[in-house]
Amino acid sequence: MTAIPMGTSIVKKQIVAVSGLALVGFILAHLAGNFNIFLGPEWLNGYAKHLEELGPVLWLMRIGLLAAAIVHITFTVLVTIENRRSRGVAYAVAGSRGGTTFAKKTMILSGLMVLSFLFLHLSDFTFADKHGSASIVAGANGGESLGLYGIVWNAFLNPLRVVVYIFAVCCLGLHLSHAIQSCTQSLGLSDEPVLQRVTFASRVIGALAALSYASIPVYVIVRHFTVGIGV
């Protein structure tokens, strides 16, 4: 009737889960890589160079990631549309007994926020000219390019961008706080005690991911106004 023929409802959710897990893997690996910024320009630029040197392997990972993202978005939009249809007439009084949460109700929104942010993020860093004028930090490194480090530094001196970034990573954290728990359930890996622990772990990981990602722009700003770039 209302079902869109793309596998059973359970299969659809399991496709969302597997593609989502691939994205979670990326999010955590990306975070670990980004931490190089705290060690200074050589580390971050070295890490970036390392990635570039992977060549075809990097492209394979990028294509895999893109595929996971496309699958995830397609299926989540699909199930969200189906789910909106299935109620029919809305309740006059909508109540909750505490099963659902803000994070659960806003999965499509937090997801779409992360997606829109992604375009800004790619143009800011991934596709930026690593040795162009944006990589030169005023009064640092004798006016020479500071590579990716310089680009990140300059980008985060713009308060509007910092606010947008922090908002985006909070959306990401919110998404993860439900997502990891939801995956274990959708893939049938949980029983009662496991579900309780995974739910807790999911929220902790979501919060830590948001805080850790947000720490990068905060670090740049604080350092700019205190000790300066120091190179």
SS3 226: coil
Beta carbons within 8 Å of 117's beta carbon, 6+ residues apart: 164, 165, 168, 171
Which residue, 97 or 138, has its beta carbon nearer to another protein? 97
Mapping DSSP onto H, E and C, the string for 147-197 reads HHHHHHHHHCCCHHHHHHHHHHHHHHHHHHHHHHHHHHHHCCCCCHHHHHH
Footprint of another protein on 161-200 (CB under 8 A): 178, 181-182, 184-192, 195
Query: Which of the listed partners (ligand HEM, another protein, none) does 111 bind, with a CB threshold of 5 to 8 Å by partner kind?
Result: ligand HEM
Query: Which of the listed partners (another protein, ligand HEM, none) does 37 bind, with a CB threshold of 5 to 8 Å by partner kind?
Result: none
CA dist., res. 129 & res. 123, Å (int): 10
SS3 85: helix
Interaction site with another protein (CB under 8 A): 1-3, 8-14, 79, 82-83, 85-100, 104-105, 107, 178, 181-182, 184-192, 195
Interaction site with ligand HEM (CB under 6 A): 13, 16-17, 20-21, 23-24, 27, 72-73, 76-77, 79-80, 107-108, 111-112, 114-115, 175, 179, 182-183, 186
